[in-house]
Copies of this chain bind each other. A is one copy, B any other.
Amino acid sequence: MTRSIDELLARRNRFLGRGAPLFYAEPVHLVRGEGVWLYGADGRRYMDLYNNVPCVGHAHPRVVEALSRQAATHNVHSRYLDEKIIDYAERLAGLHAQEMSVVFACSGTEANEIAMRMARIGSGGQGFICTNAAYHGNSAEVGKLTHAPLRGRRDVHAIPFPERFRGPAKDLPESEQCAFFLAEVDKAIADFAQQGIPLAGMLVCPILANEGLPRIPKGFMAGAAERVRAAGGLFICDEVQAGFCRTGHWWGYQVAEVVPDIVTSGKPMGNGLPLAACTARRALVDRFREQTRYFNTFAASPLQAAAGMAVLDVIEAEDVRGNVNRTGALLRSGCEALANGHACIGDVRGEGLFVGLEWVKDRSSREADREGAVRAANLLKSRGFLVSNAGALGNVLKIRPPLVFNSEHAGLFLEALDSVLEEMGR
């Protein structure tokens, strides 16, 4: 580690608190970004295969220009009329087939706070179902859904997340796997009923990103939504990671083949400007507005509208969704080809430009190898490629580049991954 990194770290511990989270054994000090590239203070260039926030690329000139122009024009809170935020809400609502309205916020956490409150108002219920490896935000309320116990907490009930690779149903045929996990939803609903807690809904990432992008038994999400609605609850999709063309579809719920009542989104919406939204069936938003008078100082601002609109413009103008489908297919097939030659990769999963490589100690036992995934991330970083590890067991190499990642970038990354796998010797 260089002296300057040591000094920065010491000051960081002092002014941001000892142990503020950092990536990598030797952290990266970044000073510039452009497209899929990030540049270190030492002049090194890194390919960004992790960041979903700069979805149309780091420092996209069109977004920068929109942000600059709006900041120089005006930016106030939402209790005055502003046309841009209405236009943006209309455009965002129009990305769903149902008639939707939007409540803006500053972070995914805030959007999920709104969604939970809206579901409670809309359903009259209180209890929420989530998965046992979910993460939906950092507030006290939304944090109840982080590693929630399978039983015990009054208003949150976790189910084991549906997966086909390991876990209790791994040896069943897919339709029985689906039935197995849907039975867990039934149990959660029954548990709430037994405790006299009316159901508010189920909150879930439709591609189970934090769970490690597992293969979800076909029909699970639609079946879960049906059960939740039959029990009086609402079905909420957290699209903070899955949304905005990440999967090659506009929304992760399209991949999961389910129609949610409420959708939350965040990270990629403003390409780095804090911007998030809870988008829901119009009647739900009307009731939420009526009962809460919800207000958020920085949200639904002209600045958020300008940045958000510019991101949508770029996604359309540059056919970002088309690129995600084309490059995503290339990236996945390249990873699959490498996995064939290396026993440490037990599974290659994902949709569009969101790929998970499941690191295992042994292919037949499928024992998770977190250390292997961490080592691979550090070796890739030392070669100039930024990824991270994730998943319920921390053993999934998470590949989630800006959506302007193209075939040339994919080729460079696959070469680097190949060399890392050679170095790891498995």
Contacts and interface: CB of A to CB of B under 8 A. Distances in A.
A351 interface: no
Interface stretch (A52-60, A167-175, A201-209, A341-349): A52-60
Interface string A230-257: 0000000000000000000000000000
Given A59-B73, A72-B64, A81 B18 contact: no
A53 B73 contact: no
A290 B71 CA distance: 37
A15 B101 contact: yes
A335 interface: no
Contact of A71 (B9, B20, B59, B300): B59
Contacts of A14: 90, 101, 282
A90 B53 CA distance: 26
Interface string A59-76: 101011001100111111
Nearest to A11: B86
Given A16-B85, A38-B80, A59-B72, 16 more contacts: A16-B101, A17-B101, A17-B103, A17-B282, A17-B285, A20-B300, A21-B79, A22-B79, A58-B76, A59-B71, A107-B298, A113-B140, A116-B140, A141-B141, A273-B298, A274-B299
A83 B8 contact: yes
Chain A interface helix/strand/loop/mixed: mixed
A387 interface: no
A50 to B, nearest CB: 9
Contacts of A106: 106-107, 110, 274, 298
